[in-house]
């Protein structure tokens, strides 16, 4: 049994919708950009920029209008994320988990949807606590969710790479339910007794995303906040694709930032190389060509990301609706599987475009561009860090299998220790 779910119809004017929301958020993005370099250099977590966005309703962009949100399309949200990532890729990235959680709500029973839509519209956000560092078999998790002697749900375990949680009001934790195969999600307040969140992320890029460790010790979980997740369901397939697309939007924003920095450097540079043409950089056709290649790569990355977002929007028009309490989740439709493949095709191309743009930036400058005061290396560091999340080689194989054999992309419940070879 199903109930009706609502989504933005992509047949409405997507450019007009984006323009309305862009006008609302562009001033906030500009404020975020002003201090982005300083935050990166001083390793200052962006709590204040996150507060600005939360107060402006950024986290409620995908909440349906009838529930008090903006009712925006996937395309609009992704385009805004590109804009935000161009201002500060860390801030765009840390909203990934919250936006993904919001996407999943359309398939939850009505009481769950209404409960969480209300919280999100009020400005509350949800982080992520899914990945474990070792000791769990592929497709399983060691974190457990079980009932205590009094019948209350208790959560125990340690998670890593908990992007966004340190900035959030709640976090969604993947856990194994005692005696039940698969996994569940437990959503708990970050301030709850037994929750400890650390800023111990030591990656060389995206250093301000709060991608640290979270520990859960006998944390009480509200009965209403234990959520099912079934591999291959409409909810699981859509959110997996959306999660991946958010990172691609971040990469497209990084490419745009590299383009803008390259243009600014070249326009203002007065010195040149003794082996060059002798012309000012802004008039040198070779340097102009470098900036042109960077701009073309940034354009291609953004266009690819938008095309994938439109595919996700189209797939939602006829997607299975929300599950009623006690009902079985519906499997993904062919359109949803195709949308997932479209996002995977973008995954094979966009990271390389962004990394190339970040590297070519230095071809349009000189040794002075390597000064740590300028922080131009952050574009490459951040792009490389984001690109490692979803290795393109595995995505390319899945795409080929889809087109050759019609095999849908397969995702397991969790990453983990590799299986022994046969």
Q: Give the pLDDT confidence of 44-64 residue by residue, as tens digits.
A: 999 999 999 999 999 999 999
Confidence of residue 269 (pLDDT cuts 50, 70, 90): confident
CATH of domain 234-405: 1.20.140.10
Residues of the chain with CATH 1.10.540.10: 2-125
Q: Is the pLDDT of residue 4 over 50?
A: no
Higher pLDDT, 351 or 333: 351
Which pLDDT tens digit goes with each residue over 208-221? Answer: 999 999 999 999 99
Q: What are phi and psi of 147, to 5 degrees?
A: -95, 140
Q: Is the pLDDT of residue 420 over 60?
A: no
Q: Which residue(s) pair with 221 in the sheet?
A: 153
Tokens of 153: 């749900």
- Mean pLDDT to the nearest integer, 8-37: 89
In this predicted structure, which of 27-36, 246-255, 407-416 has the lowest mean pLDDT?
407-416
Report the pLDDT value the prediction gives residue 276, as an integer from 0 to 100. Answer: 67
Mean pLDDT taken over the chain: 91
Q: Pairing between strand 144-147 and 170-177?
A: parallel
Helix (H, G, I), strand (E, B) or coil at 341: helix
- List all residues 6 or more positions away from 195 whose beta carbon is below 8 Å from its beta carbon: 171, 188, 189, 214, 215, 216, 219
Helix (H, G, I), strand (E, B) or coil at 258: helix
Give the class (CATH, top level) of 2-125: mainly alpha
In this structure, is the dihedral angle defined by the CA atoms of residues 252, 257, 263 and 265, taken in order, positive or negative? Answer: negative
d(C-alpha 130, C-alpha 281), whole Å: 48
Q: What are phi and psi of 386, to 5 degrees?
A: -65, -40
d(C-alpha 229, C-alpha 236), whole Å: 7
Confidence of residue 248 (pLDDT cuts 50, 70, 90): very high
- List all residues 6 or more positions away from 243 whose beta carbon is below 8 Å from its beta carbon: 96, 100
Residues of the chain with CATH 1.20.140.10: 234-405
- Mean pLDDT to the nearest integer, 356-374: 92
Q: Which residue has the tokens 């050759």?
A: 404
Report the pLDDT value the prediction gives residue 39, as an integer from 0 to 100. Answer: 98
Residues of the chain with CATH 2.40.110.10: 144-229
DSSP states of 138-176 as a string? TT--S-EEEE-TTS-EEEEEEEB--TTGGG-SEEEEEEE
Closest CA to 341 of 318, 307, 317: 307
Confidence of residue 365 (pLDDT cuts 50, 70, 90): confident
The region, left, alpha or beta by phi > 0 then psi within -120 to 50, assigned to residue 51 is alpha
Which pLDDT tens digit goes with each residue over 8-22? Answer: 454 468 999 999 999
Which pLDDT tens digit goes with each residue over 298-332? Answer: 999 999 999 999 999 999 998 876 664 556 678 88
- List all residues 6 or more positions away from 316 whose beta carbon is below 8 Å from its beta carbon: 7, 74, 238
Residue 415 CB coordination number (10 Å):
15
d(C-alpha 206, C-alpha 173), whole Å: 22
Q: Which residue(s) pair with 157 in the sheet?
A: 216
* Contact of 318 with 5, CB cutoff 8 Å: no
Report the pLDDT value the prediction gives residue 327, as an integer from 0 to 100. Answer: 61
- Mean pLDDT to the nearest integer, 118-125: 98
Give the class (CATH, top level) of 144-229: mainly beta
* Contact of 89 with 206, CB cutoff 8 Å: yes
Say what percent of the chain tops pLDDT 90. Answer: 78
Tokens of 194: 């037994």
* Contact of 96 with 163, CB cutoff 8 Å: yes
- List all residues 6 or more positions away from 115 whose beta carbon is below 8 Å from its beta carbon: 224
- Mean pLDDT to the nearest integer, 184-205: 97
Tokens of 337: 């599987």
**Residue 46: C-alpha distances to residues 115, 203, 260 (Å):** 28, 17, 22
Q: What is the pTM of this model?
A: 0.92
Report the pLDDT value the prediction gives residue 413, as an integer from 0 to 100. Answer: 47
Q: What does the radius of gyration of the chain's CA atoms come to, in whole angstroms?
A: 22
Q: What are phi and psi of 322, to 5 degrees?
A: -65, 150
In this structure, is the dihedral angle defined by the CA atoms of residues 71, 75, 80 and 85, taken in order, positive or negative? Answer: positive
- Length of the chain equals 422
Higher pLDDT, 178 or 91: 91
Tokens of 82: 């590109």
- Mean pLDDT to the nearest integer, 395-421: 77
Which pLDDT tens digit goes with each residue over 130-189? Answer: 999 876 656 678 999 999 999 999 999 999 999 999 999 999 999 998 767 678 999 999
């Amino acid at each position: 049994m199903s109930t009706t779910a609502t989504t933005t119809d992509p047949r409405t004017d997507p450019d007009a919708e984006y323009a309305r929301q862009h006008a609302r958020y562009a001033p906030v993005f500009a404020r975020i950009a002003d201090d982005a370099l300083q935050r990166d250099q001083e390793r200052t977590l962006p709590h204040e920029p996150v507060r600005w966005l939360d107060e402006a309703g950024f986290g409620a962009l995908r909440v349906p209008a009838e529930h008090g949100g903006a009712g925006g399309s996937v395309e609009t949200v992704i385009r805004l994320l590109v804009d935000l990532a161009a201002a500060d890729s860390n801030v765009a990235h840390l909203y990934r988990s919250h936006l993904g959680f919001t996407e999943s709500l359309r398939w939850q029973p009505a009481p769950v949807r209404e409960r969480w839509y209300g919280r999100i519209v009020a400005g509350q956000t949800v982080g992520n606590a899914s990945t474990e560092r070792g000791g769990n078999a592929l497709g399983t998790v060691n974190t457990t969710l079980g009932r205590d002697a009094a019948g209350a749900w208790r959560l125990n375990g340690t998670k890593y790479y908990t992007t966004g949680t340190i900035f959030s009001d709640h976090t969604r934790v993947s856990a194994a339910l005692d005696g039940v195969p698969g996994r569940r999600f437990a959503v708990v307040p970050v301030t709850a007794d037994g929750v400890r969140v650390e800023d111990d992320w030591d990656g060389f890029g995206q250093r301000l995303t709060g991608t640290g460790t979270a520990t859960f010790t006998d944390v009480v979980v509200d009965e209403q906040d234990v959520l099912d997740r079934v591999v291959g369901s409409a909810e699981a397939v859509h959110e997996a694709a959306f999660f991946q697309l958010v990172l691609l939007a971040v990469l497209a924003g990084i490419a745009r930032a590299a383009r803008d920095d390259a243009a600014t450097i070249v326009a203002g540079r007065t010195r040149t190389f003794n082996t060059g043409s002798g012309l000012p950089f802004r008039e040198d056709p070779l340097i102009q060509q470098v900036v042109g290649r960077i701009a073309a790569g940034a354009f291609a990355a953004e266009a690819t990301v938008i095309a994938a977002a439109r595919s996700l929007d189209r797939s939602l028009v006829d997607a299975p609706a929300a599950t009623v309490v006690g009902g079985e989740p519906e499997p993904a439709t062919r359109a949803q599987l195709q949308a997932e493949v479209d996002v995977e095709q973008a995954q094979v191309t966009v990271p390389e475009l962004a990394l190339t743009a970040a590297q070519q930036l230095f071809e349009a400058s000189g040794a002075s561009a390597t000064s740590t005061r300028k922080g131009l290396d952050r574009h490459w560091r951040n792009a490389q860090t984001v690109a490692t999340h979803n290795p393109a080689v595995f995505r390319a194989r899945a795409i080929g299998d889809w087109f050759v054999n019609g095999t849908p992309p397969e995702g397991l419940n969790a990453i983990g220790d590799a299986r022994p070879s046969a």
